[in-house]
Amino acid sequence: MNLIKSNLINLNEQWNIAVRMLEQNDMEFDLRLRDETGLLILMKDSIEYFKMEQNPKIVGDISFRFLEHIYHHSENMIKKIRMRVENYIVPENSQAFIRELAANIYDSNPAEKYISKTGLYEAYNYALNDEYVKSKDLM
């Protein structure tokens, strides 16, 4: 199980390296979004598998990596990405999905830095979606 997790995290890091210097309006960026979809599908399937295996630690680790991919997108941005990329894995109601990922992280009893980062990611996402009171309360 740890080998699957470490390989998945390594794939995630390699993807991050590949997109770090790309312009968001470039055709190459669209190709990388398609690659990201494959990675996110693999992450989502892994989360579901490890939930069935009742391994909250790995579920939390993978959920955190998944959250890092999507927390900075508003629901409007998710809709635009879904128009550009077929089969984009993030559901239309991305806020509920982000809260589910955050719950997975909190349930995994993570280190304090992951709790803090998850809270900041959630607050940022609330603010992007014009829910400033929820964002302020979380901060």
The one-letter amino acid at 125 = N
pTM exceeds cut of 0.85: no
Q: Which domain holds residue 58?
A: 2-138
pLDDT tens, residue order, the chain (139 aa): 777 877 777 777 777 776 666 666 666 766 777 778 888 888 999 999 999 999 999 999 999 999 988 898 899 888 888 887 778 888 888 899 999 999 999 999 888 889 999 999 999 999 999 998 999 998 8
Instruction: Spell out the residues 6+ positions from residue 1 whose beta carbon is closer than 8 angstroms to its own.
Output: 50, 53, 55, 58
Count of domains in the chain? 1
Quote the DSSP letter at residue 54.
T
Q: What is the pLDDT of residue 106?
A: 95
Q: Give residue 36's pLDDT.
A: 80
